[in-house]
Amino acid sequence: MKQRYKISYNDKKDQVRITEQMEWEGQYVEMTEEKYSVEQLANVIDKDIQEVIAAIRTNNLFPPYELAKKIASSLIQLLKDTDDSVNELYMYWEDIEEQPVETEEVEEEDIIEDELSELTDDLSDDEMEDGFLEEGNDLDSIVPKTSGPVDDDETKSEDL
């Protein structure tokens, strides 16, 4: 989801607004807006960025940490800017979690090789030399086969 954050002063420049907007059918629609006193923010902008993030997070505006860092940095930039003509900044964010993830198809043989590799990684060189994987041994004698999926409920009741 594409989002835009507008960080702006009011007319008197004694208040800052952070407006969260989302893209809907090609236009940005306002979702929420929070107002902060410039005096309150001025007390935290020279401190750690964590303090700025804590100051801007509310019940209505609680962005994830990485986004909160970007908003806080933009807010600090706006408040420290000495150019009186700058009254607002826009910050854009695209939520990548909403994007489809491309998956790579994995062959069954690759999975078996990976599992076998994991099993043998724990063995010392001495154990390997003792014939664990000698040519005469086949995979069936090393990796137990199951007849199908194991039902956890059945296994638990047998253990009791």
User: What pLDDT is recorded for position 111?
Assistant: 64
The answer to whether residue 11 is domain-embedded is: yes
CB 20, CB 31: distance < 8 Å: yes
Domain assignment of residue 124, yes or no:
no
Could you tell me if residue 137 is inside a domain? no
Percentage of the chain beyond pLDDT 90 is 36
Stated pTM of the model: 0.57
Where the chain has pLDDT below 50, the residues are 98-99
Residue 14 is part of which domain span? 2-98
In a domain, 128, yes or no: no
With respect to residue 87, please indicate whether it lies within any of the assigned structural domains: yes
Work out how many domains the chain is built from and give that number. 1
Domain membership flag for residue 50: yes
DSSP-assigned states of every residue in 33-72? EEEEEHHHHHTTTTS-HHHHHHHH--SS----HHHHHHHH
